[in-house]
Amino acid sequence: MAKNLSMLSLIVFLLVQCNDGTSEGSLKPEECAPRCENRCAKTHHKKPCLFYCKYCCAKCLCVPPGTYGNKEVCPCYNNWKTEDGGPKCP
């Protein structure tokens, strides 16, 4: 019984983590700024990070969770590239 309860708790936890409001197109434009503040919190290049994060969020309505990586959560954000082929979104 305890094993089943632990498994159920794990499944519920994972479902909540997967649906944390960052999925593609789920943000409202006014939600971009606080998400980008969090995304750019640890960079030494805060001003350009915030500019591009907000720019990308306005187009994709999604910001990956955390301060680095996790871009697979937002395919639009992840796949938008510069002319040189580098990532456009931080």
Q: What is the pLDDT of residue 52?
A: 96
Whole-number Å distance between alpha carbons of 1 and 30: 45
Which of 23-27, 46-50, 73-77 is least confident?
23-27
**What is the domain partition of the chain in residue ranges?**
22-90
Task: Give buried/exposed letters for 19-43 (b at 16+ CB in 10 A, else e).
Answer: eeebeeeebeeeebeebbeebbeee
Of 26, 15, 81, 86, the C-alpha closest to 57 is: 26
Task: Give tens-digit pLDDT for 33-68.
Answer: 999 999 999 999 999 999 999 999 999 999 999 999
pLDDT tens-digit series, residues 10-22 = 454 444 444 444 4
Tell which wins on pLDDT, 27 or 48.
48
